[in-house]
Amino acid sequence: MVKNIVSALLVLTTSLSASAIMIELGLAYSFQKKTFNAANYYQSDSKSASVSLYFIEKLALELSYSDGFYEGQESDTNSTRTIQQSTKMTDGSIIYMLMDKKSLIQPYAKVGVAYIQKKQEVRYLNASVISIPESIGWAPSYGAGLKFVLSDRFSIRLGYDVWQTPLSDGSKSDDSAFKAGLTWFL
């Protein structure tokens, strides 16, 4: 479904005249690993891609896709437990740039909606895998960040996003991510 939406969006944007809208592509990646000792650690990584359509100088529609993975292992003298979690998120947001495009530093705010799929498995040493019920659903999202202009076409983008993840028990969790990446204006 995500591929169809992105394909339709790209066909639409290439059919519009270049003066009507500006298109910005973005890529972001984050990785973290913490090791307490050989048997106790956690690590996570996240990859994101986005397409932003600027209809006017300070206002854009951004569609993004993120794929994240987390693994943590906890051990004591009696047992070892490994938790693996994957999160896939498709997000549509309106971005408002607080400064014009001529500024070298461009702060922004965004608000939107995200479709989130979250899976989790728990493994105990010498035991079977326990799958936690999958969390799937729509959630509000918002964020803020800074773009540092490198040239007319390239920028470094730092952002902080928050979204309310629906959980399998019907409750919600406020999840967040700090992202760093590059953007390119077509």
Judged against a pLDDT cut of 50, whether residue 115 lies above it is answered with yes
Rounded to an integer, what distance in angstroms lies between the CA atom of residue 130 and that of residue 128? 7
Per-residue pLDDT tens digits for 159-178:
999 998 877 777 888 888 88
Q: Say which residues have a Cβ less than 8 Å from residue 35's Cβ, sequence separation at least 6.
A: 41
> Which pTM value belongs to this model?
0.79
Residue 100 burial class via C-beta count within 10 angstroms: exposed 0-12, middle 13-18, buried 19 and up? exposed
**Residues of the chain above pLDDT 70, percent:** 89
Judged against a pLDDT cut of 50, whether residue 5 lies above it is answered with yes
Per CATH, domain 2-185 is 3.20.20.120: no
Judged against a pLDDT cut of 80, whether residue 14 lies above it is answered with no
C-alpha closest to that of 108 among 183, 32, 34? 183
Backbone angle region of 137, left / alpha / beta, with phi > 0 → left and psi within -120 to 50 → alpha: left
**Residues of the chain above pLDDT 90, percent:** 57
Rounded to an integer, what distance in angstroms lies between the CA atom of residue 89 and that of residue 114? 6
Per-residue pLDDT tens digits for 57-109:
889 999 999 999 999 999 888 888 899 999 999 999 999 999 988 889 999 99
In the block, residue with structure tokens 């994240």: 68
Residue 38 burial class via C-beta count within 10 angstroms: exposed 0-12, middle 13-18, buried 19 and up? exposed
**What pLDDT, on a 0 to 100 scale, did the predictor assign at position 18?**
46
